[in-house]
A and B are shown apart, each in its own frame.
Chain A
């Protein structure tokens, strides 16, 4: 069944029609690796230069038999590999170090260890692609897109079970009868003349621009794009690939069928207090009800640093860095009064704490965003601000 389909495919696409072009080469097929080694030795020692050997698997000892000089392909691989390494290095450095620095796992923006896997991958990728590219360039002799021995009976055999050798007609020593006689003497069971294929290229001279070739590339790209689109945008959303999408879970702000009350988000268990947030006993009460408790934190450099950090984060957008009401919001929100007024200066710490916790006028409560200790630290810092912004001339004396 499959054999029949393959046969049809062969007949339709791979059938070699009698070629009418110039003689390209004389090719010979052999049965055993020993014969082909012997043939290669004979051909190279007879002084032929433009010949090649094709075998179904690498035959050890062939380099010597063909009298090949050491291949330079290693240098190509080395150069391509090194450019892959440096390309990856530069790419990572530019992406995470310059263009879009982001902190991942507390590591430096650009770091070598995380780049090494990518450098390694790109080294392999670029050198492999370059080697395939150079193979096409050398074997097919760009701008040709196929070697003339392709699509012949000869190549069909050497890619399955036989060992082949061919000598190009362009070789200086090439004489048709001599070459054929030599191959037959070496014990070849099939010697054939291979002619250049004559393609109808229309107006174009370059086979790379022929309609067939360009069409094949366009069709291949379209198929690739289509499959990619199908896989990424359609297939992944079809069952069973979307099962994970419908697993039971709680989405915030949505109805839940799991809980009796229908709420997805849960309320805290009654009588419990969230960690770090002690309930505030004067919640919602007017200023006058507040009992003046002293600031529990000591005035130390550490506390003041913490207070400044929290003040700059939470208070300064509206109150300004100096507490003068110099808001950074450019009038998009009502500007609060200065914190250096007599009223605020004379307030007890507990009153300021009450305002931060409870909110006042348009100022919302910060109870949920600033922890209790941080609020007291902010008050200490505010006192420092008040003192420094109202410094006296006499403060300059001293020291």
Chain B
């Protein structure tokens, strides 16, 4: 192992900072001119950051849980992406100011005259919603600090006890992750249409988060390897596994998405179908179809071959592709509530790419400054570097 810590270039903070400031300016302008739309954009950004950050933490926990060795060289990169989680706590505050703009069920006078919403009000009320949000954030931030702290400490002395502690922590975190990500999906995305319900919705969002986290880790790893920031022994076979996992979760996403669709389509109940009909109205039809091709069919055909997954140049294209597909997926979930009848993409929505990319770059750089980019003294590291198919 010949890893030597190199600082990431400062241009990362500069470019990212400029993009972030521009994105925030657009958001503020949007808030002045179209406040409701601004909150929907903000929710879109927020959910995407949750996908990457919490999904990355889940990947870290998954590695400890199953004792994988191939992913050990990439684990620190996932941990750095997960360090977005403390930022998420601060970012959650504006969401509460937008609660009446975003969520139909938060208006007491509407609920009063709506039998369905009245029946759902024990769950869908502002107080319980706030409590659940804080519960989710608390779980995430707690396990983020506990798991990454152990991983950091191991960099100093390489003691196996940290790995063992993290295995215990991951075992506790795994079911909590499933619960919290389901709550997040139901509260922040599904309750935008409070009359609609789908029991598979949490799994659907979960599949998306894992794809986003894997794509982020893949993209960052390929870039860092090209820049010589990682160990030179890290071979293509490890990237092959990363690509395979991304490919597999993409199929899982399609499976879940289709399962949700076919049950609604088959039962043909008006209380369920309207959600899909909103996504088939006017130009939304093209968004739905492009989601099918852009998120599943084209990546499936590109990534199905074995060579595709060891081709780093291709992975460097497909990882941002999958991130964009996940953004489209979230757009498709969130915005039909606001743009009834026709999809719309205005200057307000430009804040999404600017804030997401800018914030990721700034947080990645700041978090990576204090850390090694590889878990240098992890007992599984050598096995991970030696990994061959």
Contacts and interface: CB of A to CB of B under 8 A. Distances in A.
B161 interface: no
A291 B388 CA distance: 97
B385 to A, nearest CB: 12
Residue among B261, B266, B387 with max Cβ neighbours from chain A (10 Å):
B266
A241 B232 CA distance: 64
Contacts of B113: none
A117 B265 CA distance: 13
Interface stretch (A18-26, A59-67, A382-390): A59-67
Interface string B265-281: 11010000000000000
Contacts of A394: none
Contact of B262 (A61, A106, A113): A113
Given A105-B266, A114-B266, A60 B306 contact: no
Nearest to B386: A61
A97 B304 CA distance: 32
A78 B306 CA distance: 12
Nearest to A63: B389
Contacts of B387: 60
Contacts of A235: none
Contact of A116 (B262, B268, B304, B388): B262
A105 to B, nearest CB: 6
Interface string A96-119: 000000000111000001101100
A116 B258 contact: yes
Contacts of A113: 261-262, 265-266
Interface in A154-186: none
A114 B262 contact: yes
Contacts of A107: 266
Interface string A24-48: 0000000000000000000000000
B305 interface: yes
B389 A60 contact: yes
Nearest to B387: A60
Nearest to B259: A117
A70 interface: yes
A171 B57 CA distance: 52
Interface residues of B, number: 14
A275 B369 CA distance: 78
Identify the interface centre among B304, B305, B388: most chain A CB within 10 Å of its CB. B388
Given A60-B388, A64-B388, A106-B268, A74 B306 contact: yes
A62 to B, nearest CB: 8
B240 to A, nearest CB: 11
B267 to A, nearest CB: 8
A63 B389 CA distance: 7
Nearest to A116: B258
Contacts of A114: 262, 266
B305 A74 contact: yes
A105 B388 contact: no
Contacts of A63: 388-389
A61 B305 contact: no
A105 B268 contact: yes
A107 B266 CA distance: 8
Nearest to B70: A60
B388 A61 contact: yes
A113 B305 CA distance: 27
A78 B266 CA distance: 30
A114 B267 CA distance: 12
Nearest to B255: A120
A107 B264 CA distance: 13
Interface in B245-292: 258, 261-262, 265-266, 268
B262 A117 contact: yes
Interface string B289-315: 000000000000000111100000000
A70 B306 contact: yes
Contacts of A60: 387-389
A85 to B, nearest CB: 13
Nearest to A58: B389
Contacts of A74: 305-306
A117 B255 CA distance: 10
Interface in B58-87: none
Interface string B220-263: 00000000000000000000000000000000000000100110
A106 B268 CA distance: 9
A67 to B, nearest CB: 13
Nearest to B305: A74
A315 B304 CA distance: 63
B258 A61 contact: no
Nearest to A65: B388
A107 B273 CA distance: 14
A60 B386 CA distance: 9
Contacts of B304: 78
Contacts of A61: 386, 388-389
B13 to A, nearest CB: 39
A116 B257 CA distance: 13
Contacts of B261: 113
Interface string B96-125: 000000000000000000000000000000
Contacts of B262: 113-114, 116-117
A34 to B, nearest CB: 11
Nearest to A106: B268
Interface string A56-84: 00001101100000100010001000000
A61 B236 CA distance: 12
A70 B265 CA distance: 43
B234 to A, nearest CB: 15
A342 B222 CA distance: 95
Contacts of B305: 74
A117 B389 CA distance: 32
A105 B269 CA distance: 11
Given A61-B388, A64-B388, A116-B262, 19 more contacts: A60-B388, A60-B389, A61-B386, A61-B389, A63-B388, A70-B306, A70-B307, A74-B305, A74-B306, A78-B304, A105-B266, A105-B268, A107-B266, A113-B261, A113-B262, A113-B266, A114-B262, A114-B266, A117-B262
13 contacts: A60-B387, A61-B388, A63-B388, A64-B388, A105-B266, A106-B268, A113-B262, A113-B265, A113-B266, A114-B262, A114-B266, A116-B258, A116-B262
Interface of B: 258, 261-262, 265-266, 268, 304-307, 386-389
Per CB-CB distance, the 7 closest pairs between chain A and chain B, nearest first, are A61-B388, A60-B388, A113-B265, A113-B262, A64-B388, A63-B389, A74-B306
